[in-house]
């Protein structure tokens, strides 16, 4: 409920709007995705455990009554009452609170990392939908061009200047384009349905995207220009190592169990010389458990091993992230190069050729079959161009996710800057 309220307050236009751009979709998902809203409760759970970890054990009241009247005695009896309190004297509570504080921080990093992954999924679905939209638009323009050729051939056929074969070839080409158009519309609908789910919208909600792949690429290039890492999962791994060390200290403290301190009162009625005598006693009791056999050796060894494992995981994760970033950057650069070549060379050449060919067809110097062949080539190039842009956008999105550099992610945790750490070590 709180997430939806934030979405309405921060994005008032989206409460009733049917269209979102690239930035709005990311913000809306972070505030309205039900998985993210559910994940925030894990932080509250960890805070509850922190509160519980600092609480003292409850005192104990001990009451006892004994009498001989139940066996026909003379009325001798004894009443005892005691109040005992267990005292954590080995620093157990403080160490338990340290562990719980680290668990709160770990829960926070887990939520932040889930947000990071959500943003990447939203970006991916958005890019897929934009690519399908742009491919569909290009295909519809080419279908209109084929329609013009069909109409021209039909007019020529009626005038006896063209055969039915030329007309039918154009119609077959148009049917092929329409089939590809249906497939693209299916891709567009599937990506939009996925995006709705990520945004926390119902399947029946009205939604469309706006913008272009070039705009998305420009935005992603700005956010991926830095080499700084904002990775909550790295922070979590580091915190897990700290938590393992804190749990080892807690295990050593728990080897010394709580001291029990108590005060006791006892009332006793006894028979002496045929007379009942009353006696009152007040005493104190202290119980100190001795860690002779069980000193939590196994738990301490387990947590020490977990700490070493977390340190190694941190190193391995850093290497894996570097590989992810480099691979995605290479894919983005190569895709951008392909798109640039198509835009610089292929598309202008196709436009120029189409203009010359249309003039030749009008004057009867060329056959419409050549225009059909050119249309096929243009389809492949224009769709390949959109595919190259989409691949570049997806690769840049992967770079941004690998860096954790999205500007809408909350960075209220320790920032691990891997590349800065490397540069500092080199200077030393």
Residue with tokens 């002496």: 272
Q: How far is CA 209 from the centre of its chain?
A: 22
C-alpha 253/C-alpha 255 separation (Å) is 5
The pLDDT of residue 366 is above 90: no
Of 197, 158, 145, which Cα lies nearest the Cα of 368? 145
Q: Could you tell me the pTM of the whole model?
A: 0.81
Task: Look at residue 15 and tell me whether its pLDDT is greater than 50.
Answer: no
CA distance readout (Å), 124 to 128, 198, 327:
6, 11, 17
Mean per-residue pLDDT for 260-264?
93
d(CA 230, CA 413): 9
What mean pLDDT is predicted for residues 340-344?
90
Read off φ and ψ for residue 397, nearest 5 degrees.
-60, -40
Class of residue 66 by CB neighbours under 10 A (exposed 0-12, middle 13-18, buried 19+): exposed
H or E segment to which residue 131 belongs: helix 92-158
Out of 5-19, 199-213, 351-365, the most confident range is 199-213
At 26 the pLDDT is: 94
Mean pLDDT value across residues 10-25: 69
Identify the burial level of 371 via C-beta atoms within 10 angstroms of its C-beta, where 0-12 means exposed, 13-18 middle and 19 or more buried: buried
Question: Taking 70 as the threshold, does the pLDDT of residue 5 lie above it?
Answer: no
Please give the average per-residue pLDDT across 238-267, as a whole number.
Answer: 90
Return the pLDDT at 424.
Answer: 44
Residue-wise pLDDT for 107-145, tens only, equals: 999 999 999 999 999 999 999 999 999 999 888 888 787
Residue in the block written with tokens 């329409």? 178
Considering only 67-76, 175-184, 265-274, 299-308, which range has the smallest mean pLDDT? 67-76
Which region among 50-59, 136-145, 171-180, 239-248 has the lowest average model confidence (pLDDT)?
171-180
Distance (Å) of CA 385 to CA 42, 98, 412: 44, 55, 40
Q: Which residues contact 243 (CB under 8 A, 6 or more apart)?
A: 99, 102, 103, 106
Q: What is the pLDDT of residue 173?
A: 75
Angle between helices 232-254 and 297-341 (to 10 degrees): 180
Provide the mean pLDDT of the chain.
84
pLDDT at 34 over 50: yes
Q: What is the pLDDT of residue 161?
A: 61
DSSP characters over 278-325: EEEEEEEEEE----SS---HHHHHHHHHHHHHHHHHHHHHHHHHHHHH
State residue 409 phi and psi, 5-degree precision.
-80, 140
**How far is Cα 49 from Cα 106, in angstroms, rounded to an integer?**
13
Q: CA of 198: how far to CAs of 25, 37, 80, 115, 119, in Å?
A: 9, 12, 66, 11, 9
Alpha-carbon span 320 to 326, nearest angstrom: 10
* Mean pLDDT of all residues in 185-204: 93
Which pLDDT belongs to residue 281?
A: 87
What's the longest Cα–Cα distance across the chain?
146
pLDDT tens-digit map of 144-189 = 877 777 676 676 666 666 667 766 777 777 778 788 889 988 999 9
Q: What is the pLDDT of residue 365?
A: 61
* Weakest mean pLDDT among 4-13, 36-45, 120-129, 330-339: 4-13
Facing residues of 262 across strands?
A: 84, 285
Note whether 360 and 366 are within 8 A (CB): yes
DSSP state of 21: -
Residue with tokens 């020529």: 156
74 or 248: whose pLDDT is higher?
A: 248
Beta sheet of 60-67, edge-to-edge order: 60-67, 77-87, 259-272, 275-287
What pLDDT is attached to residue 9?
A: 45
Cα–Cα separations (whole angstroms), residue 410 to 29, 140, 230, 398, 427: 14, 42, 10, 18, 31
What is the residue whose two structure tokens read 């990520």? 198
- Residue 212: is its pLDDT beyond 50? yes
- Region 5-32 average pLDDT: 71
CA distance 224 to 201: 29
CB 154 within 8 A of CB 167: yes
Can you say whether the dihedral through the CA atoms of 180, 182, 141, 124 is positive or negative? Answer: negative
| Confidence band, pLDDT 50/70/90 cuts, at residue 68 | confident
Distance CA 414, CA 428 (A): 23
Q: Set out the domains of the chain in order of their start, with CATH numbers.
A: 2-32+106-235+308-427 (1.20.1600.10)
Type and span of the H or E element at 382: helix 368-403
Owner of token pair 């469309």? 208
- Name, of 43-47, 144-148, 354-358, the range with top average pLDDT: 43-47
**Confidence category of residue 33, pLDDT binned at 50, 70, 90:** very high
């Amino acid at each position: 409920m709180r997430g939806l309220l934030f979405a309405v307050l921060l994005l008032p236009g989206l409460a009733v709007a049917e269209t979102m751009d690239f930035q709005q979709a990311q913000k809306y998902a972070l505030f309205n995705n039900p998985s993210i809203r559910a994940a925030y409760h894990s932080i509250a759970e960890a805070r509850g455990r922190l509160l519980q970890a600092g609480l003292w054990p409850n005192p104990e009241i001990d009451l006892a009554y004994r009498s001989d009247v139940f066996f026909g005695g003379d009325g001798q009896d004894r009443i005892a009452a005691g109040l005992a309190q267990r005292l954590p004297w080995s620093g157990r509570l403080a160490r338990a609170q340290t562990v719980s504080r680290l668990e709160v921080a770990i829960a926070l990093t887990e939520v932040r990392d889930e947000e990071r992954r959500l943003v990447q999924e939203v970006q991916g679905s958005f890019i897929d939908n934009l690519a399908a939209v742009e491919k569909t638009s290009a295909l519809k323009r080419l279908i209109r061009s084929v329609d013009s050729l069909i109409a021209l051939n039909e007019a020529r056929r009626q005038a006896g200047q063209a055969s039915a074969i030329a007309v039918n070839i154009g119609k077959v080409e148009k049917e092929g384009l329409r089939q590809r158009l249906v497939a693209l519309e299916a891709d567009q609908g599937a990506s939009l349905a996925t995006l709705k789910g990520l945004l926390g919208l119902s399947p029946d909600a009205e939604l469309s995207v706006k913008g272009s792949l070039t705009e998305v690429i420009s935005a992603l290039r700005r956010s991926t220009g830095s080499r700084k890492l904002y990775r909550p999962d790295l922070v979590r791994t580091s915190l897990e190592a700290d938590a393992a060390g804190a749990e080892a200290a807690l295990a050593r403290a728990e080897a010394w169990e709580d001291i029990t301190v108590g005060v006791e009162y006892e009332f006793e009625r006894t028979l002496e010389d045929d007379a009942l005598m009353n006696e009152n006693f007040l005493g104190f009791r202290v119980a100190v458990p001795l860690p002779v056999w069980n000193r939590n050796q196994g738990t301490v060894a387990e947590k020490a091993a977990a700490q070493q494992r977390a340190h190694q995981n941190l190193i391995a994760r850093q290497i894996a992230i570097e590989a992810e970033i480099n691979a995605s950057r290479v894919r983005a650069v190569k895709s951008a190069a392909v798109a640039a070549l198509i835009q610089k060379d292929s598309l202008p050449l196709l436009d120029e050729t189409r203009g010359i060919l249309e003039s030749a067809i009008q004057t009867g110097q060329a056959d419409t079959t050549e225009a059909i062949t050119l249309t096929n080539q243009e389809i492949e190039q224009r769709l390949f161009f959109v595919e190259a842009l989409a691949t570049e956008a997806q690769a840049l999105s992967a770079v941004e996710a690998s860096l954790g550099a999205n500007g809408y992610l909350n960075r209220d945790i320790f920032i691990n800057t891997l590349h800065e750490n490397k540069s500092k070590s080199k200077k030393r």
